[in-house]
Amino acid sequence: MSTREAPYHPANDMIRQAGHPLQTQDDLDLLLDRIGDARFVLLGEATHGTSEYYLWRTLLSQRLIQEKGFSFIAVEGDWPDCYRVNRYIKGYSNAGQSAHRVLNTFRRWPTWMWANWEVVALVEWLRRYNLQLPEHQRVGFYGLDVYSLWESLAEVTRYLEENAPDALQTAYRAYNCFEPYEGDYHAYARATRLIPTSCENEVIDLLLETQQKAQQSPYDGDGETSFNAEQNARVTVGAEQYYRTMMRGDRESWNLRDHHMVDTLERLVDHFGKDTKAIVWEHNTHIGDARATPMVSAGMVNVGQLVRENHDSDEVVLVGFGSYQGSVIAGRSWGAPMERMPVPDAQEGSWEDALHRAVNQDSLFIFSEFENESELFEPIHGHRAIGVVYDPDEYRGGSFVSTSLSRRYDAFIYLEQTQALHPLHLEPQGSEPPETYPWGV
């Protein structure tokens, strides 16, 4: 723990008074009150590799499901991989023997985001909870992301083979179009930039064919089979467009990705019914309102902003997360081996530094609680953001994004000290969590 002396500042006392100590699940009561009857609760993280962010999101999600009837958790993950988790927690036939085995099949880098012991615990809890309920009331688990072009194309083809073999020629045409790139999305992106051609028409035809056949498919023990097939077809369309635009610049591909995630979220709500309540797990960069950061001046939008714009203000609650110091799982470059890395003290003048100086303990902040609290947290300061790529030698604890905390989030969970996730592929001994894992299954 840092011993850096915290000089007195009048704002420290005000921040200290605004914070609520956070030690047990019961300390989330105030946040549950703030959430009220909201239908969309978006839970962030300042890194993609911190154990405590997963712990607190799990504890809050459990209470939202049990006490407020939330219908599903949607995460920053690939649809095909997460749908296997969904099948397991709902007890569908041939869905896997354990959460460990299902999650161990996540092989797309960065595997640690979902193939970790923290998520094993969540998934086993969801299965136990669900198996007490009728099938139509069971809580789901889904991926919102757009990356899984080849995996989703394979899933659609498998569906058509089993349910509509007369439509396979459409799938084969899409396969043949992508075949020269051998599963390398960078190769596809480069090719479509250099030559004015693409597989756009093929994947759109596949989507239309799948939608038509999905309406005719019989129930086969997994009541979501047709919905799953159509969503995989939509992912192929979104992924093809994403990879085709990624070479043109960050803004266009970023916006396409976040629009896809919000569209998927809205389709899930329609799938479950008009009164559905949704929990979303994603990085702060996605769930914190982009308009409270420099993203807005760059013409970028994100999930938190779009969900707020699509729904009434009392229907949406955004919860950010941050910590002062600790460790994290990340890779030093895209595709590099995962490592445990240090997260040093937050930059001086950042929000995490201010909270450390003022409260120096794990705390919950609810920005609408007092009339002056939103104003207290409205100034612009740096806010830590570590992605899947992180080099502690190059960045002092990750990049810090200029942020108005109370405009970016409705509530904020601050943690003094955090530790790295426990990835399955880094600690695969047997099927039991490591001794360092603090809350078991």
**Where does the pLDDT of residue 428 fall: very low under 50, low under 70, confident under 90, or very high at 90 and above?**
low
> Does position 1 have pLDDT exceeding 50, yes or no?
no
CA distance 116 to 106: 10
Let me know the angle formed at the C-alpha of 62 by 56 and 67, rounded to the nearest 5 degrees: 125
CA distance 85 to 100: 10
CA distance 256 to 262: 10
DSSP, res 106: -
CA distance 342 to 307: 34
**pLDDT tens-digit readout, 309-328:** 999 999 999 999 999 999 99
CA distance 113 to 124: 17
DSSP string covering 271-317 = HH-TT--EEEE--HHHHS-GGGSTTGGGT---HHHHHHHHS-GGGEE
Number of neighbouring beta carbons within 10 Å of residue 52: 21
In this prediction, residue 433 carries a pLDDT of 63
Chain centre distance of CA 151: 19
**pLDDT tens-digit readout, 249-260:** 679 999 999 999
Spatial contact of 389 and 57, defined as CB atoms under 8 Å apart: no
In this prediction, residue 432 carries a pLDDT of 61
In this prediction, residue 184 carries a pLDDT of 85
Q: What is the dihedral of CA 190, 199, 230, 140, to 10 degrees?
A: 0
Angle between helices 51-68 and 117-130 (to 10 degrees): 10
Spatial contact of 384 and 46, defined as CB atoms under 8 Å apart: yes
Whether the bond between 110 and the residue before it is cis, its omega within 30 degrees of 0, is yes
CA distance 30 to 59: 14
In this prediction, residue 441 carries a pLDDT of 44
Between residues 165 and 217, which one has the greater pLDDT?
Answer: 165
Which of these, 44, 42, 41, lies nearest to 52 by C-alpha position? 44
Let me know the angle formed at the C-alpha of 361 by 327 and 427, rounded to the nearest 5 degrees: 25
Spatial contact of 342 and 327, defined as CB atoms under 8 Å apart: yes
Spatial contact of 424 and 100, defined as CB atoms under 8 Å apart: yes
- What number is the average pLDDT over the span 172-188? 88
Tokens, residue 96: 């896997």
Task: Give the chain's length.
Answer: 441
Going 227 to 228 to 231 to 236, the CA torsion angle's sign is negative
pTM: 0.93
